[in-house]
Structure 1
Amino acid sequence: MTQSNIQARKRPGAARLRAFLRIFFSYRGAQLGIVCLLFFIVVAAIPDTLVGPLETAANATGDFLAPPESRHLLGTEEVGRDVLNLVVHGARISLTIALLATVITLIVGTIVGITSGYFGGWIDVCLMRLTDFFFVIPSFVLAMVITPVVLEVVGRGREILGFRPSLFVVVVVIGMTGWAFIARIIRSQTLTLKQRTFIDRARVVGSGNFSIMVRHILPNLVPQIAANGALVVANAIYVETSLSFLGLGDPLQPSWGTLLSLAQRAGAASAGAWWYLCAPGVCVLAVSLSFVLIGNALDDTLNPRRRVIP
């Protein structure tokens, strides 16, 4: 094959990518979400460079609940630690938990949805009844009930896959309790795709069920998975923050939810220490909003029925 033929084959894909990016970035929400998300990713990637090592009670540099000033731009907390230092280091914990939990959610939801929609019959019935169980019970309530039980079984000893047990359990619990609506969406799309002509052709040439699901159906589901994945991250951040606020996170890791929990226990609201509550709270809202804006823009871009071409 000549070089010109190779380039000709590449042009349609490159053209589609350019068209996708042009439409995606034409939405103001996508622009705002990407900029805000990139900011927090940079913060989470180099916290030591930005604010130095994580402060502990032993090396606290400020007074107790001191308001913002030049040395401590976001004030200090109840033992004198710099709130900016804690919030910046907490970005890595919160984003890591949310992203890993989202990966688990998307994998489980996609597998259940494709399997249920493709095979149908008693497999579909069993999987959808299981999905209904997770669907009708709010994921946060289910996670709130399961997390302390699993923590009691696992214990809080040595690390698991590089995570402290409490963080590992939170990641798995969030991921395993929020997949139901993803499974519903993937199943409905699979029911439509398996009736298409290209699936019949794949069966005629001898492709097995697994090959059809992975090589023919799954690639056509990527737009739906991507669009809904951004919304799943926002929900995962909310659930992680809520669990940590209730004391089910790791008190030794300053995630944003843990900081809110510590602020509540220290009586920051009654003491007028608004900076202690606002800093992690605003971060949670900003990151969640960023993923929602990105998810909505992806849905509008990838769904021709909703797309608005500028």
Structure 2
Amino acid sequence: MTEVVAESRRRARLRAMKDFLGRLFERGGAWVGTAALTFFLVLAAMPGPLVGPLETAATATGDFLTSPDSQHMLGTDEVGRDVLNLVVHGARISLTIALIATVISLIVGTTVGITSGYYGGRVDVWLMRLTDFFFIVPSFVLALVIAPVLVEVVGRGREILGFRTSLFVIVVVIGLTSWSFVARIIRSQTLSLRERPFVDRARVAGSSDVSIMMRHILPNLVPQIAANGALVVAGAIYTETALSFIGLGDPLQPSWGTLLSLAQQAGAASAGAWWYLGAPGVCVLTVALGFVLLGNALDDTFNPRRRVIP
């Protein structure tokens, strides 16, 4: 009997997943976003087998700012390194930074949003005033002010969790300055969920506030967290690119933003080296667009009021 029930539940989950994927991929944006992200995730997952180890000035194989040819499909940089090699290795750094920063942002935003919406009163007022501050001030401006200070506090040249100091600070700063949008969404959903009968039953049963928030409210917020998380990733990529472009990145672990910074310093624009600026720039735009398209498709799928196929 137990096996029959388990099998029935498994089939129900499979049907629900199939139905969800069917509704998601009815939207063209979901296909485009998924295809773009899959391509770049593959690049980030195995840069070595695809283009070899990261080239340095000592191992450069080309000449100064050589235009694309059969040997160097995306040309070379100012010291002769293959730009394709740099861009593929940069995909791992940029996507890793953006995804980890997004996880931090979602954790902070979800915690603040649930706490604010569930307790209400003064807790809600104070948390929302804090959220409004981070919402009004652009995350890039906050990151620009905080990042250099933290780099000096933590110390340069160290390696933390596989990241050198500057990149680790960028991850933390982006995560801690881009959560306000998520918090406001989660709060609005929590205000509705806390009035539902299942929450009242949990209170009557003696469940603690933390238990109610974690076991009863949070699972119902997963669709909103997933949909908005994809949009947060896009913002994190832009912020990381901007911070690295102004010199806060690490040339030894080059992200796409760092490559744009190096290209600007090398005078690629004035030298007509469009490939040096264009390759990482197109990657940033494509990945950000992919996350936006996927996030919008998820939002349309999860939100009954927006289930209108374009």
Interval containing the TM-score (normalised by the shorter chain):
over 0.9
Distance of 1:309 and 1:256 partners within structure 2: 34
Distance of 1:89 and 1:3 partners within structure 2: 48
Distance of 1:71 and 1:225 partners within structure 2: 44
2:285 is aligned with 1:308: no
Question: What residue in structure 1 maps to residue 269 of structure 2?
Answer: 269
Question: What residue in structure 2 maps to residue 63 of structure 1?
Answer: 63
Change (3 A) 1:309 1:256: closer
Question: What residue in structure 1 maps to residue 165 of structure 2?
Answer: 165
- The alpha carbon displacement at 1:2 in A equals 3.9
2:88 is aligned with 1:97: no
Equivalent residue pairs, number: 310
> 2:206 corresponds to which letter in structure 1?
G
**CA-to-aligned-CA distance 1:84-112 (integer Å, 9 cap, x gap):** 00001000000000000000000000000
Distance of 1:63 and 1:9 partners within structure 2: 62
Q: TM-score, normalised by structure 1?
A: 0.98
Question: What residue in structure 1 maps to residue 80 of structure 2?
Answer: 80
Distance of 1:237 and 1:8 partners within structure 2: 42
**CA-to-aligned-CA distance 1:140-193 (integer Å, 9 cap, x gap):** 111011111111111113211221111110000000000011111100100000
Write out aligned runs for 1:191-270 (5 A).
191-270=191-270
SS of match in other structure, 2:201: helix
> 1:251 corresponds to which letter in structure 2?
P
Distance of 1:2 and 1:137 partners within structure 2: 55
Distance of 1:290 and 1:78 partners within structure 2: 30
- The alpha carbon displacement at 1:15 in A equals 1.7
| Structure 2 unmatched ranges of 5 or more | none
Distance of 1:120 and 1:2 partners within structure 2: 43
> 1:27 corresponds to which letter in structure 2?
R
Distance of 1:259 and 1:189 partners within structure 2: 40
SS of match in other structure, 1:53: coil
Question: What residue in structure 2 maps to residue 296 of structure 1?
Answer: 296
Distance of 1:10 and 1:89 partners within structure 2: 40
**CA-to-aligned-CA distance 1:96-134 (integer Å, 9 cap, x gap):** 000000000000000000001101111111111111111
Q: Note if contact 1:65-1:78 (Cα within 8 Å) is conserved in structure 2.
A: yes
Q: TM-score, normalised by structure 2?
A: 0.98
> 1:72 corresponds to which letter in structure 2?
H
Distance of 1:183 and 1:9 partners within structure 2: 33
**CA-to-aligned-CA distance 1:225-270 (integer Å, 9 cap, x gap):** 0000000000000000000000011122110000000001111011
> 2:188 corresponds to which letter in structure 1?
S
Q: Note if contact 1:23-1:309 (Cα within 8 Å) is conserved in structure 2.
A: no
Distance of 1:123 and 1:142 partners within structure 2: 24
- The alpha carbon displacement at 1:41 in A equals 0.7
> 2:198 corresponds to which letter in structure 1?
F
| Structure 1 unmatched ranges of 5 or more | none
- The alpha carbon displacement at 1:309 in A equals 5.7
Identity percentage of aligned residues: 75
